[in-house]
Amino acid sequence: MRESLREMISNRSRVQQVQQNLTSKIKATPADVRRYFEKLPEDSVPWVPLQVEVQIFSVSPSVSREAVEDVKARLRSFSDQVNKGESPFSTLAILYSEDPGSAVRGGELGFMGRGELVPEFAAVAFNLNDPKKVSKVVETQFGYHIMQLIEKRGDRVNVRHILLRPKVAEKDLTEAVNRLDSLRMDINDGKFTFEEAVTVLSQDKDTRNNRGRMVNPTTGSTRFEMAQLPQEISRLVNDMQPGDISQPFIMTDPKTNREKVAFVKLTSRIPATAPTSATTTSWSRTCMKTHAARKCSTPGSPKKSKTPTSASKTAGKTATSNTTGTSSSDETLTFTGTRGARNSQPARHARTGPERRPLGQVSGA
């Protein structure tokens, strides 16, 4: 992941430098933009695509102890095979690791510093000394790992790893769907609002303190084009009207690649439209203010694709805006009946972001 991320950042930096060199002496006023816009043929004016604003409520059903023990047993079996010389670690990683970003390289992560790995993973990786031995089973927010030392170089280490994730039982997912369906009906009956339910009961820390509003990691705003939403959400939102609340559904968390249950509310739908001279002038003013730092493109024009690496999906940090006065600490929530109740024990706070991910895939993964 690190090599892919480094290449992506380096390419982005070079592109920005070239853009700044090409446009550093160009001066354009809002009047210039307006005149250019008015001269365009009607059929050449780019359209602003349909955009939506969505709120989400989600819970993550717990994984059974049996599933966890099964995963640990499989990893110990892999360790025994490597330690006895029966199978190379890299071969097992290619065949069984659930981190596709590193599995294709035999589980190799590349050289990383301690701060680039989640703490649990780093603690074991930097204590490895024998390249022929395999580590104990390590639990992180992404699942369970075993790893093998490749090389240490100063304060950096290169290891291979195998990742396995215990799966949520089908019955637990079904129970969570039923609980969320009861909660949705209570919201529709006016017992409490969607925002109140999110603040108290949602287990998504990225949106819980933002009244459930999803934030577009590409733009930092709450508006999404349909293609920018997770597939499970975009399919539902496509047929919804503002104010509608969807049926509960099962989706894959794009950060941890684990299954969770959710329902969404469509806050607003902004129809696709051709930009007017007023919107273009407003856009030009924004461009001129940020011209030195970023590139401006015509409203509605297609975005250039980024380097198609698995790490690129996680390179941007998800931006959130805390707009309520509730606590931001994580809590383990237990549902009882239709409303649910808080459990007073706080859950461990998982660190996220590309700089804390040991996996090339946990991107999207």
Same domain for 272 and 351, yes or no, is: yes
9 or 271, higher pLDDT: 271
**Number of domains within the chain:** 2
Per DSSP, the residues of 228-294 read GS-HHHHHHHTT--TT-BPPPEEEE-TTT--EEEEEEEEEEEE--BPPPHHHHHHHHHHHHHHTTTS
**210 pLDDT higher than 50:** yes
Per-residue pLDDT at 274: 65
Alpha carbons within 13 A on the beta-carbon side of 303 = 10
Residues 184 and 219 in one domain: yes
Boundary of a domain, candidates 129, 164, 199 = 164
Chain mean pLDDT for the chain: 77
pLDDT band at 196, cuts 50/70/90? very high
164 pLDDT tier (thresholds 50, 70, 90): very high
Specify if 212 maps to a domain.
yes
- The beta strands (E) that lie in 20-153 are given as 51-59, 112-113, 138-140, 143-153
pLDDT at 323: 38
290 falls within a domain: no
Q: What is the pLDDT of residue 24?
A: 75
Q: How high is the pLDDT of residue 158?
A: 95
Quick one: pLDDT at residue 281? 52
For residue 278, the model assigns a pLDDT of 54
Decide which of 132, 164, 196 is a domain's last residue. Answer: 164
At 225, which helix (H) or strand (E)?
strand 224-225
Single-letter code of the amino acid located at 273:
T
Q: Which residue has the higher pLDDT, 159 or 43?
A: 159
195-203 mean pLDDT: 92
Torsion from C-alpha of 126, 131, 134, 139, nearest 10 degrees = 20
CATH code for the domain in which residue 146 is found = 3.10.50.40
Q: What is the mean pLDDT of residues 173-193?
A: 94
CA distance 9 to 295: 16
CA dist., res. 328 & res. 362, Å (int): 24
* Token output for 250: 């099962």
What domain range is 173 assigned to?
Answer: 51-62+168-276+320-356
In a shared domain, residues 201 and 333:
yes
| 292 in a structural domain | no
Cβ neighbors of 26 (< 8 A, separation 6 or more) are none
Mean predicted confidence (pLDDT) in 119-139: 93
Within a domain: residue 283? no
| Residues 58, 175 within the same domain | yes
Question: Which has more pLDDT, 313 or 145?
Answer: 145
- Residues 133 and 240 occupy one common structural domain: no
Same-domain status, 339 and 236:
yes
Q: pLDDT at residue 332 above 50? A: no
Write the pLDDT tens digit of every residue in 50-107.
899 999 999 999 888 999 999 999 999 999 999 999 999 999 999 999 998 899 999 9
Q: What is the mean pLDDT of residues 342-358?
A: 37
Q: Does the pLDDT value for residue 361 go beyond 50?
A: no
pLDDT at 34: 79
Sole residue written with tokens 């239709």: 338
Task: Return the pLDDT at 276.
Answer: 60
Q: Using the 3D structure, point to which of 164, 183, 216 is the last residue of a domain.
A: 164
Answer yes or no: is 311 within a domain. Answer: no
For strand 51-59 and strand 259-270, is the pairing parallel, antiparallel, or unpaired? antiparallel
Position 15 confidence tier, pLDDT thresholds 50, 70, 90 = confident
Q: Is residue 307 part of a domain?
A: no
Same domain, 134 and 235: no
Residue 313 lies in a domain: no
pLDDT at 254: 75
Same domain flag for 130 and 184:
no
Contact present, 89 and 160 (Cβ < 8 Å)? yes
185 shares its domain with 269 = yes
Confidence at residue 236, expressed as pLDDT on a 0 to 100 scale: 92
139 and 258 share a domain? no
pTM: 0.57
Same domain, 158 and 213: no
The per-residue pLDDT for 57 is 96
Mean pLDDT of the 34-54 span: 81
| Residue 345 reports pLDDT greater than 50 | no
Q: What is the pLDDT of residues 244-264, one digit of tens each?
A: 999 999 998 877 778 899 999
* pLDDT for the residue numbered 1: 52
CB burial of residue 84 (10 Å; 0-12, 13-18, 19+)? exposed
Q: How confident is the model at residue 18 (pLDDT cuts 50, 70, 90)?
A: confident
The torsion angles phi and psi of 55, rounded to 5 degrees, stand at -110, 145
Q: How confident is the model at residue 48 (pLDDT cuts 50, 70, 90)?
A: confident
What proportion of the chain, given as a percentage, has pLDDT over 70?
A: 73
Cα–Cα nearest to 142, from 314, 329, 13, 325: 314
Write out pLDDT tens, residues 278-295. Answer: 555 555 555 554 444 444
Retrieve residue 347's tokens.
Answer: 């859950």
Q: How confident is the model at residue 218 (pLDDT cuts 50, 70, 90)?
A: confident
Residue 304's pLDDT is 41
295: in domain = no
d(CA 213, CA 340): 21
Indicate whether 177 and 105 sit together in one domain: no
How many other C-beta atoms are found inside a 10 Å radius of the C-beta of residue 137? 19
